[in-house]
Structure 1
Amino acid sequence: MSLNVALHGRIEGEATFCATSRFIGITGPSGAGKSSFLRCIAGFEKEAKVRASWPSQIASKEAQLKIGIVFQQPLLFPHVNVQGNLGLARRHASKNAISIEEALTGCCCSHLVHKSIDSLSGGEAQRVAIARALVNGPDILLLDESLSAIDSQTRRKIYRFLHKLCASSLLTCLVVSHDIDDLLLFSDELVYIHNGNIAAVGEVNNVIQAMFRYGGMESMETPSAVIDAVVEHLIEPEVGKIAEPDSSLNIANRIYSVMALGQRLYVSEKSLTPVSAYSHTSPESKYAENKPLTNGQPVRISIKASDVSIDTNVSETCEQTTSSILNALTCHIEDITFFDSHQQGRVLLTLGIQDTSTQGSDNDKNGSQIHQEPLYAVISALSFHRLALERNMPVVARFKLL
């Protein structure tokens, strides 16, 4: 899939994606051109020049291609209730459209079906607007800050649902958001738009690093890192014991033991995303099911730099600690960056993670390999000097993912 967009004075550039990418995240500073990019694709900008090559499953019907768009303001029909809004959209639905029941369930708004539009909160209205777009059966769904008023837990449930639709090849989503952690977890690929130009496109970790280099501290003060892991088992949080896979624990209370780079982490389900959604071969139902993740399932974890603390006692790891912060990754300091000046009082550390699960030519003295993708930590300048941190120094990065 590729998109070439040009609108004088507002947005210009080309983005080419892998053939399997169906969920594309778009981010950048305010006023950079993100909304203009979507408006050009949707055909709202008559002066725009757009060349698009769509995924194979929809390219064959390009003449009848249906594009849906949901803005930050939901634009629901006020003269009918929630059910009426979805019913109107269903009248002209495509053959690939999901049912109203599926849309309501997946967008977490089944309980709103009989409510009037003027009684909805901002977040509720956004959920209904996305559900309405889905029952119309778009081939391409453009979301322009469409989940910005929805709480984090519900927002991620909806993103998971959209992923399942994308994985089943029913849908291709392009999502504009300032919430970089959401985009890191759910995007197959990421687009960074800066000053009206498409500055970076590709795998999420690569684009995050490009964003940081491109925009400096002003646009990316606390970068996040993405780590791939594998589920070991579900844990009963009250007693710390292994839980049965069919546990009735609510999704908000599920904690998993996962293995990442040969090191064990403890992560709540709301802080990770199954990687199966990215393969686009998952046989999972289109419904947003509430089933626990399975043992051995690949997952993706996002770790924000501001959530990472540094410990110079490298002998205390995740399994041997007196701290309530259970997660620990053995690292070394690759780079040190001060935030413009010492007056801001913060320092960014770029950390190389030791991958103890593999052996390779880049092994360190302990025989472990340095993971290719970095981890970031933002600490105070006071902590930096008190710990006497320096490049190549071994440290333990500690963080919570609960």
Structure 2
Amino acid sequence: MADRIEIALKGDLGAFHLDVDLAVPMHGITALFGPSGCGKTSILRSVAGLNRMPGRIAVGSEIWQDDRHFVPTHKRSLGYVFQEASLFAHLSVRQNLTYGERRARADEKHVRFDDIVNLLGIAHLVDRSPANLSGGERQRVSIGRALLSQPRLLLMDEPLSALDRMAKDEILPYFEALHANLRIPILFVTHDIGEVERLADHLVLLREGRLVGSGPLNEVLSAPHSPLSARRDFAAVLPARVKRHDPDSIAVLDIVGRELLVVAKDMKAGETVRVRIAASDVSIAKSRPDATSMLNVLPARIIGIDALDDAEASIRLDIGVDLEAPIRARITRRSLEALSLSEGQDVFAQIKSVSLAASR
């Protein structure tokens, strides 16, 4: 289909067996997520034509491989960003960027040099040597070079994993800017759930070379049998719109008809954001609390109870928004039994903290 990227691969790469069949949107950021050795990079390299294994790969209406033919890497309209920024040391930043630009035909040039250097915040770096750049700056130049090759698809293989926390915090807003301003679909390999929550629109969950789940981000995160729900750092990620920003630095957000309050600065009414609600920050009350320091207390219905271990359980909660994705509360088995909680019960979700995962 013209609006999808289809990947169906089954075969062996040495001792590793890969067997996946998935389709993801031809827009936004799709994260390939899972533990080391689950097949994320093998899929990315196969899409790039760097691995050749049995199967079918189609990007929109273009078939890059099937049983009858195989398009070599240099004829696939893609950009590839690796963990380490692989810039040409003997060329300036400008020359590295225009090297990518020269690969594209004149009639394909829909991404412009000036737009990319401004979007990535590298205009002041163009006359420098790569040797004089920080790790985050080098990676931004690497992304710019890939984009200026005018790809139909951008592949990113853990592009932030080689950066320290400060450099990663510096570069993440530029990833958000790419997401907001470019229409090029991105396949993004990562092992960092925080990057998934902040950047991804669609999530492909992998384990041992097989597909565990695929779909819109929070639907996969919050699915009843998702392995992610058992993680201690599990959080639901929901889209929201800023209704107003009050003088005391509290922003009022609308999530499909529900209001949430979040501590935030310099937010504008109408701005689109996504919020992160950690299961560990949600508690449950059977009646509305009379007095509480928690800003967000929402009517909710229990739609599922999943055992985590002998001590804890994960409660799926419908908070009345028109989304196929609940939030969760992580509570002790003792609290579960003391409150006599059960599926279908109406309760109140007390949300200790709502944080912004990303702005758009």
TM-score by length of 1: 0.70
Change over 3 Å in CA distance of 1:385–1:55 after alignment to 2: closer
Equivalents in 2 of 1:322, 1:215: separation in Å? 33
Q: Deviations over 1:299-358 (max 9, x none)?
A: 54332324x231537435xxx9652x433433244444454333xxx5433223135xx8
Structure 1 position 354 matched with structure 2 position 324: no
Q: Which residue of 2 aligns with 1:259?
A: 254
Change over 3 Å in CA distance of 1:130–1:374 after alignment to 2: same
Q: Which residue of 2 aligns with 1:55?
A: 60
Question: Which residue identity does 1:395 align to in structure 2?
Answer: F
Equivalents in 2 of 1:69, 1:174: separation in Å? 10
Task: Please state how far the C-alpha of 1:185 moved relative to its aligned partner.
Answer: 5.0
Q: Which residue of 2 aligns with 1:32?
A: 38
TM-score by length of 2: 0.77
Q: Which residue of 2 aligns with 1:378?
A: 330
Structure 1 position 327 matched with structure 2 position 279: no
Q: Which residue of 1 aligns with 2:67?
A: none
Question: Which residue identity does 1:312 align to in structure 2?
Answer: A
Change over 3 Å in CA distance of 1:102–1:202 after alignment to 2: same
- From 78, 95, 98, the equivalent of 1:67 is 78
SS in 2 for 1:147: coil
Equivalents in 2 of 1:156, 1:354: separation in Å? 31
Contact in 2 for aligned 1:40/1:50 (Cα 8 Å) = no
More displaced 10-residue stretch of structure 1: 23-32 or 63-72: 63-72
Contact in 1 for aligned 2:31/2:204 (Cα 8 Å) = yes
Equivalents in 2 of 1:153, 1:108: separation in Å? 11
Equivalents in 2 of 1:133, 1:389: separation in Å? 56
Contact in 2 for aligned 1:72/1:146 (Cα 8 Å) = yes
Unaligned runs of 5+ in 1: 241-254, 271-290, 359-370
Q: Which residue of 2 aligns with 1:12?
A: 19
Task: Please state how far the C-alpha of 1:184 moved relative to its aligned partner.
Answer: 4.2
Equivalents in 2 of 1:83, 1:235: separation in Å? 44
Q: How does 1:289-300 map to 2 (within 5 A)?
A: 295=270, 299-300=273-274
Equivalents in 2 of 1:140, 1:189: separation in Å? 15
Q: Which residue of 1 aligns with 2:109?
A: 96
Question: Which residue identity does 2:318 align to in structure 1?
Answer: G
Q: CA RMSD in A?
A: 3.5
Contact in 2 for aligned 1:24/1:191 (Cα 8 Å) = yes
Contact in 2 for aligned 1:97/1:134 (Cα 8 Å) = no
Task: Please state how far the C-alpha of 1:127 moved relative to its aligned partner.
Answer: 1.8
Q: Which residue of 2 aligns with 1:312?
A: 285
Change over 3 Å in CA distance of 1:264–1:215 after alignment to 2: closer
SS in 2 for 1:396: strand
SS in 2 for 1:137: coil
Q: Which residue of 2 aligns with 1:164?
A: 181
Contact in 2 for aligned 1:26/1:177 (Cα 8 Å) = yes
Query: Identity rate of aligned residues, in percent?
Result: 27
Change over 3 Å in CA distance of 1:380–1:103 after alignment to 2: farther
Aligned length: 332
SS in 1 for 2:355: coil
Equivalents in 1 of 2:296, 2:9: separation in Å? 43
Task: Please state how far the C-alpha of 1:10 moved relative to its aligned partner.
Answer: 3.7
Task: Please state how far the C-alpha of 1:118 moved relative to its aligned partner.
Answer: 2.8
Question: Which residue identity does 1:213 align to in structure 2?
Answer: H
Contact in 2 for aligned 1:29/1:194 (Cα 8 Å) = yes
Equivalents in 2 of 1:221, 1:385: separation in Å? 18
